[in-house]
Structures are given as structure tokens and as C-alpha cells.
Chains A and B, each alone.
Chain A
Amino acid sequence: MSATPGIVAINTFREAVRDRVLYNLVFFALLMIGAAILVGQISIGIERLVIINLGLTAISIFGLVMAIFIGVGLVYKEMEKRTLYSLLAKPIRRWEFLVGKYAGLLLTLCVNTAFMTLGLAAALFYVGRPFVRSDASILAAVYFIVLELALVTALGLFFSCFSSPMLSTLFTLGIYITGVFSKDIRDVGELTNVSALKTLTRVVYYLVPNFHNFNAIAVVAHGDAIPFSLIWQNTVYAVLYAGVVLLAASAVFSGRNLK
């Protein structure tokens, strides 16, 4: 394994930091502070539920917005501005560049998510509960969000290898939303008698990433535990899926003429 993707990744992270991407944390902090104060006042025994629900949902949405909007520009911007020209003249394979950019954004997302998780913990602490053992499962829910972001980023990167950021955003969002509802889509298909529709919904179900499985927010908010089997299933699923998407992205990107 060469060091190249790592070097590219660190520079990508540096770019995100200098472009003030992490400023979104300020909004997250304000949101958490506001929620904590509000919930603290109405105090009817559901503070914990509200804060966890709100916090995890915000972590997920903030992350998704970042993953999609930065993800679709990640490689596209370098092609468009021609910063790639001098870089690819160095001993760097195109897939190494791609993987580096991907890893760099993932690192950015992880750091961002880590800070948001700290914010959530602080808010939970503020509403007056000592941490309980089941709070550990919040970390599992956060981990699922990170896996989800890894998948979404890979998809955005893939589309941006051959289409504009606009279209890539639409495609990625489309797949994400389909993925969230893929179980429902399949269930609708099972109800019909039209076999073509049935086949189609099944194909969609198996093709599109099943984002439903990555949403553990409700479970955690109610203090239920996340089964260990789900953790490793999701991990394997996300790693394989993102791996295949990255492979496809590399194939497209390696074959294309830069403008």
C-alpha cells in the first residue's frame, strides 16, 4: 500500500478546515444549547428522549448535508479548476487520488461527528441525568450514522466522476431517499399482482443501499440496546457497498479524459 492516498487525504482535510467547513459545529452547538434550555424548563421526564432524538437527528442531517455537498465537488472541483493537472503528473495513480479524496472527506466527517457527539453528551449532562449504562448505545447509533455517511460520500463521489455537481446531488439524494424507504417500497411491491412491478421493487430493494438499517435513533432514544449482530452486519454491509462504489468510481475516473 502506498502512502499516496494518505497524503491526499490529509490535504483534503486541510482544505475542509481552511474552507471553514467545521463552522457548522457552531450551529449544532446553538441548537443543542437551545434544546437543552427549553427541555430543562418543561421537564416532564422525557428530557432524555427529546435530547437524544434531536441530537442524533441533527448529527445525521448535518453530516448528510456535508457528505453530499462536499462529496459531489470533491473530485469535480479539481477537474474543473485543473488543480489535478500538476498533481497527476506526479507518481500518483488516479485511483489513489480518488481514494485519498474519499478518505479525506471521511476524516473530516468523523471529526465533525465526534465534536457533535461531544455536544450531545454535554446537553444530556446539562438536562440533569448522570450518564447511565445504556447511554453507550448512543455511540453505536453515532457509529451507524458514520457508516451511512461513508456510503453516501462514496455515492456522491461516484456520480461526480461523470456528471455535474447539480446532477450528482440529485442522484445521491434520490438514492438516499429511496434507500431510506427501500423496505416500504419492497412491501408495496409484494402487495401488487403485477409481477413486473414486484420484480422491479425487489431489484430496487437489493440494489439501493438499505439505509433503514442504519437508523437506530428511535431505539437508542428509548434506552433500548443495539444488538451486537446489527453492528457487525451494518459494518460489513457498508464497507462492502462503499468498496464496490469506490471501485466503480475509480474505473470511471481512471478512464476519463480530463477537460
Chain B
Amino acid sequence: MSTPAIEILGLTKDYPVGFWRKRMVRSLDNLTFQVEEGEVFGFLGPNGAGKTTTMKLLMGLIYPTSGTARVRGRSIDDIQMHREIGYLPEQPYFYDYLTARELLDYYARFSDYSAAERRERVTRFLGRVGLADAGDVQLRKFSKGMLQRAGIAQAILHDPKVIFMDEPMSGLDPVGRREVRDIIHEMKQQGRTVFFSTHILSDAEMLCDRVAVLAGGKLQGVGAPNEIVSIEVHAMEILFEAHEGRPLPAGLASHATQIGGRTRVEVPESDLYQALHELRNCEARILSVSPVRPTLEDYFLRLIGREKANSHAVEVNSR
């Protein structure tokens, strides 16, 4: 088997807190998983889960309390690793005295391109992220979404093999989000690996081969989005038109919702036939019966609930 694009091996990070910085709080707890070459991998978790912490550890911006990681077989301490990766920080901020074109040109200089190559690349990637007309505007005049786009451009400018993006869709309008999805698709098509964090689950469901879910600094699960989802029992959704003057039995009526002229009820899978039977008795017209797939959103909400319940366990040793 080929070397994984990213191997995370027991990464742990404690942050000192308090005035004397003596107390340590564990933000990331023994994180271990790997991302295969060519995957689009979603890194999911609610606010404060430790997604950004993980990204910063991988980029060498902060150092782990324990554990290591490798990118394409290279230790994250190895400077050569950085030749093969691109990174979009969370809420990126750049030298605001430069124009977008100057910024990208500056970054491109660290990749040994000739001046002509740099010029061509910078123009091409400005266009790719929708900043073709803003190339000569100083970054201090950029909106949040424009900065995000400049950030994406610098992350992919040098054809990296593995791209790390910390919330690539944040701050973007619907068109922008769409464009970022296209870019991620395109990266996959070109055989690159994309590792991105998000708490927007529909983005992950739409894009990812696999996802990892993180909450409270701990890994909660890794797998294809639908594997993560199929852990839970299914319910069935019935959509029907009720017959005028034939009231529904109380059991169904209590959790029925009206949508336009139609009625929707959700019942446990085991009660499906019973419910259909009752509906036939009151001459309802059945429009559809379909399984309710719990979305990642539901999974997420349950996780947060569970995390809240034992969040007191997060604090670790006082030195």
C-alpha cells in the first residue's frame, strides 16, 4: 500500500491557562487517524473541538505536547514537507500593504519559479478564485470573502500534493461556497489530497470521501459520511393528504405536521405498518413513504450533547 497522505499519530496538545499559565487544558487528546492519498477528507467538529489546533500542529505553528504526524511519509518537523503542501489558515490575514498580485508573487518566490512562471501562475490563480479584477487592489481594501479567496489562491498556487484548509467556506457567499466546492473537486480530479475542517455538514456530505468527527479534543469517529450516519436507527417519514372530515387517530395526529395541503408524520421503522394501516382506515391518500436518514447534523447535535455531559473531564493535570 502506498504511504498515506497524512498520518496523525497520537497528537496531544495542552494549553497553559490562567494568569500564571500553570494550569493546563487539554485541547487535543491522543488524536490518531490517517488520510489516504487522493482523498477529500472532512474534519468535522463543533466550535472549540480542536480542529484549528490540529491544523496548526500539522503546520508546525505550534508544537505538540506529545505525538507526531507525517505528511506523505515526511515528519512534520521536516522542512521539505512544506514543499508539497498548501495551507489556508482560519480567517486568513495577509500583509495589507501588498496587492493580491504582489502577495501571491511573494509566496510563489518560495517555490523556485522563474519570474515569467510566477507572473503566469499568479494571474491564473487570481482568476481561479474569482479575483481577476482585484489583483491590483491593496489587501487592506479587501472584504472578508475576498481575503478568503486570496487565502485559497495562495494555498493552491504551487500545485501542492496535500492541501490543508481550515474552514475554507467561511465568510463566503453562496456563489463563493459553490466555487470553493468546485475547486476542491478539481483538486481531487488532479489526484491531490484535500484535508479541510468545517462545521457545515452539508459541505462535508457533498464533498468528502471520508470524514473524521472531533469533539472536545477527542476523535469520535472516522469513516465515509454515510457510515458515520448509519450508526443510528432509521425512522420512516410518511407524506399524505388527509381525507376531509376523517380525523386522524390521536397517536398519529399528535406528531403530524402540515405542509401546504399535505401532512407529514415520522414514525419509528417498527411502527410503519401500524401507521399505514391507520391511515388507510381514515382514507388518507399516501404520497410517499421514505426512510429518514439521520444527517450528520443530527449526529453532531447528539455528540455535542454527550460532550456537554462529560465536559468537566477535559481539564488535566495542574503542574
Contacts and interface: CB of A to CB of B under 8 A. Distances in A.
B56 A258 contact: yes
A7 B108 CA distance: 11
A81 interface: yes
B107 interface: yes
Given A18-B97, A86-B87, A257-B63, A91 B110 contact: yes
A85 B79 contact: no
Interface of A: 3-4, 7, 11, 14-15, 18-19, 81-93, 255, 257-258
A86 B89 contact: yes
B80 A82 contact: no
Given A7-B106, A18-B97, A82-B93, A88 B80 contact: no
Contacts of A84: 61
A4 B62 contact: no
Interface string B142-177: 000000000100110000000010000000000000
A14 B60 CA distance: 27
A83 B94 contact: yes
B43 to A, nearest CB: 16
Contact of A91 (B79, B89, B92, B98): B79
Interface residues of B, number: 31
Interface SS, B side: mixed
Contacts, number: 70
B110 A81 contact: no
Interface of B: 56, 59-63, 79-80, 82-83, 85-89, 91-95, 97-98, 106-107, 109-111, 151, 154-155, 164
A33 B26 CA distance: 62
B93 A89 contact: no
A148 B158 CA distance: 41
A88 B61 contact: yes
Contact of B79 (A14, A86, A93, A255): A93
Contacts of A15: 95, 97
Contacts of A14: 97-98
A51 B91 CA distance: 52
Contact of B59 (A11, A81, A88): A88
Contacts of B63: 255, 257
A7 B111 CA distance: 11
A7 to B, nearest CB: 5
Nearest to B57: A257
A91 B151 contact: no
Nearest to B88: A86
B87 A85 contact: yes
Given A82-B92, A85-B87, A91-B79, 5 more contacts: A4-B110, A86-B94, A90-B107, A91-B110, A257-B63
A226 B154 CA distance: 52
A173 B91 CA distance: 36
Shortest Cβ-Cβ A-B pairs, 3 listed: A89-B87, A85-B89, A257-B62
Contacts of B80: 91
